[in-house]
Amino acid sequence: MNDTPTDSSTLEELLARTALRERAAFEQLYQRTSPRLFALCVRMMRDRGEAEEVLQEAFIAVWRRAEGFNPALASANTWLTTLVRNRAIDRLRQRREDTGADPLDLDRLPDEDRGPAAHAEASEDYARLEHCLKQLDPKHGRSVREAFFTGATYKELALRCQVPLATMKSWIRRALMQLRTCLET
């Protein structure tokens, strides 16, 4: 995702100040990033209440782990998005274990409403990502989507697609390399 230099440096500064336990910086960080991160939570969880819980857990983790942010390794947006995504994946995996439910079929889920998720999807970054995902082989693109949005493991994806585990790993690796190339152009 392309951050403008001002946005990225501002978020990095807010994270650094949050690491120093400055509540005002944490509040600003939340105000600037929570709508986009909440949209991600809603998209992944498909339940507004659970999405709110995931976002809250994620921001508690931000408060506790802000000192671990390293701008040399990732942008502030990437770090925050990864943290939120990982929380959501943990929750989805826990839900599957608790209920024994099958993973979400992302192609068949209805679009619930024009809420934060719809606005995030309308963004330029989302449009670029969608364009690049459509360039992938359909099976590979679907596997990447399921891995990202449901937290499905390589093994789960291989079983679902009825391919060997090594094949699934190759599909995902190649697809991610193609996505990177596409997004960098």
| pLDDT, position 99 | 54
Same domain, 129 and 99: no
Find the Cα–Cα–Cα–Cα dihedral 80, 152, 181, 111, rounded to 10°: -80
Which tokens hold the place of 31?
């105000």
Same domain, 32 and 75: yes
What CATH number corresponds to the domain at position 59? 1.10.1740.10
Domain end, chosen from 115, 150, 176, is at 115
Half-sphere exposure of 24 (CA within 13 A, CB side): 0
Same domain, 61 and 143: no
Owning domain of residue 130 = 123-185
Same domain, 110 and 133: no
116-149 pLDDT, tens digit each:
554 555 566 677 778 888 899 999 988 888 887 7
95 CB contacts (<8 Å, ≥6 apart)?
101
Contact present, 171 and 139 (Cβ < 8 Å): yes
Domain count across the chain: 2
| pLDDT, position 110 | 45
| pLDDT, position 116 | 55
Contact present, 3 and 36 (Cβ < 8 Å): no
Same domain, 109 and 154: no
| pLDDT, position 1 | 44
Contact present, 77 and 5 (Cβ < 8 Å): no
Same domain, 31 and 51: yes
How much is the pTM? 0.58
What CATH number corresponds to the domain at position 134? 1.10.10.10
Contact present, 20 and 29 (Cβ < 8 Å): no
DSSP per residue over the chain, as a string? ----HHHHHHHHHHHHHHHTT-HHHHHHHHHHHHHHHHHHHHHHHS-HHHHHHHHHHHHHHHHHHGGG--TTTS-HHHHHHHHHHHHHHHHHHHHHHHH-PPPP-TTTPPP--SSHHHHHHTSHHHHHHHHHHHHS-HHHHHHHHHHHHH---HHHHHHHHT--HHHHHHHHHHHHHHHHHHHH-
| pLDDT, position 31 | 94
Domain end, chosen from 58, 89, 115, is at 115
Same domain, 176 and 100: no
Same domain, 46 and 135: no
Half-sphere exposure of 123 (CA within 13 A, CB side): 15
Same domain, 13 and 85: yes
Provide the residue-wise pLDDT of the chain in tens; the chain has 185 residues: 444 444 778 999 999 999 999 999 999 999 999 999 999 999 888 889 999 999 999 999 999 999 999 888 888 988 999 899 989 988 888 877 665 555 555 544 444 444 555 455 556 667 777 888 889 999 998 888 888 777 778 888 898 899 998 999 999 889 888 988 887 77
| pLDDT, position 108 | 47
CA 90 to chain centre: 12
Residues composing the chain: 185
Same domain, 3 and 86: yes
Domain end, chosen from 115, 139, 174, is at 115
Same domain, 181 and 138: yes
Same domain, 88 and 39: yes
